[in-house]
């Protein structure tokens, strides 16, 4: 194939294109050597630019594009206390001259004051977002409904609110950002002849994972090789996450008007490192974070990228990822959350000297 690589149907969606794209793909030779193969490449989506970057920049380009098209002056979003999504939304709102209302959900039990005030929460406040609390952590429908209540109150006061919903049942606009990312990766692979056969990514809300999977399947053909997309669970076990990803891919197809054929085997999920749960982590994740920092100078967070890296390392050790593969690990950012976990990470770094 010699022409441009594109996903059909995306050109009709509004987009606030503020990300620093395309992001580079870098070799990770020291990490590759430490793991004894396969060849590891890193997709540097921690370098998307706006508001400390990360994967949510690609997603919010589409949400905020629609918000602007609707004439909104206020955006509302929900997420965990240390959510990267809400922090990036506040950055978009600041850049676009909008107000931002953030709802913080109690997803992680027994946290300290550092967790509640450092990292992403500090950045939310610096950007002038209005913060709201939501007492539940696993109630997506309730959290979305509460956003609608806040939005209705803002509308009564003369604002023009736009709600970014988290739960299923709403158009997955954010996932379109990672359908585009799949085309970006395919173009970079073709140009540099990288031979990427597998992409590994943290799988949480599902927008990034499903967007990549949809994008690669939409690009499938004789002239573009298929790539396996492996999601490492960070929020829910493999069975419900697999169903969520499959449904999200179907939703993207309905949204674009270009559905893709998806076999059950296409949804590749591993939940080995999910315990002890969302926002919590054990020795394997700590070891992965230290390995990335000390072998490649890369910073991975305990919630998403550190857990995904640890999951990939385990899959390599158990032979579920072959030694002769070329693997692209998507670094989805989340760096500010590292500081919310400072005591545990500081102790781990000192013990590993």
Q: How many of the other CB atoms lie within 10 Å of CB of 135?
A: 10
Query: For the packed helices 56-69 and 84-96, what is the interaxial angle rounded to 10 degrees?
Result: 40
Residue 337 has what DSSP assignment? G
The rounded distance, in Å, linking the Cα atoms of 154 and 76 is 10
Q: Where in the chain does DSSP place strands (E)?
A: 25-27, 39-44, 74-80, 99-105, 130-134, 161-164, 198-203, 228-233, 268-270, 326-331
* Catalytic (active-site) positions: 83
Do 295 and 31 touch, CB atoms closer than 8 A?
yes
DSSP code string of 259-293: -----GGG-EEE-TT-TT-TT---HHHHHHHHHHH
């Amino acid at each position: 194939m010699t022409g441009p690589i594109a996903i059909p149907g995306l050109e009709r969606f509004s987009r606030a294109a503020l990300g620093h794209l395309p992001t580079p793909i870098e070799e990770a030779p020291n990490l590759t050597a430490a793991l004894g193969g396969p060849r590891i490449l890193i997709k540097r989506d921690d370098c998307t630019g706006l508001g400390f970057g990360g994967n949510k920049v690609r997603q919010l380009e589409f949400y905020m594009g629609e918000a602007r098209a609707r004439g909104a002056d206020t955006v509302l979003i929900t997420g965990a206390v240390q959510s990267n999504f809400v922090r990036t939304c506040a950055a978009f709102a600041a850049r676009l001259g909008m107000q931002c209302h953030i709802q913080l959900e109690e997803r992680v039990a027994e946290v300290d004051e550092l967790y509640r005030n450092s990292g992403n929460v500090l950045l939310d406040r610096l950007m002038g977002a209005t913060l709201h609390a939501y007492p539940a952590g696993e109630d997506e429908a309730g959290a979305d409904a509460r956003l609608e209540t806040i939005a209705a109150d803002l509308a009564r006061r003369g604002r023009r609110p736009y709600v970014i919903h988290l739960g299923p049942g709403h158009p997955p606009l954010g996932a379109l950002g990672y359908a585009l990312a799949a085309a970006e990766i395919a173009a970079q692979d073709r140009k540099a002849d990288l031979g990427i056969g597998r992409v590994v990514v943290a799988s949480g809300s599902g927008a990034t994972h499903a967007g990549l999977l949809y994008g690669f399947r939409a690009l499938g053909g004789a002239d573009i090789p298929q790539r396996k997309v492996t999601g490492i669970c960070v929020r829910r076990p493999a069975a419900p996450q697999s169903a969520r990803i499959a449904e999200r891919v179907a939703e993207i197809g309905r949204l674009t008007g270009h559905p893709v054929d998806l076999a059950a085997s296409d949804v590749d999920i591993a939940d080995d490192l999910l315990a002890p749960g969302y926002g919590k982590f054990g020795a394997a994740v700590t070891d992965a974070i230290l390995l990335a920092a000390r072998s490649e100078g890369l910073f991975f967070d305990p919630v998403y990228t550190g857990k995904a890296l640890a999951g990939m390392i385990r899959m390599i050790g158990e032979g579920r990822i072959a030694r002769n593969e070329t693997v692209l690990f998507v670094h989805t950012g989340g760096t500010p959350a590292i500081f919310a976990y400072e005591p545990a990470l500081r102790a781990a770094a000192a013990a590993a000297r």
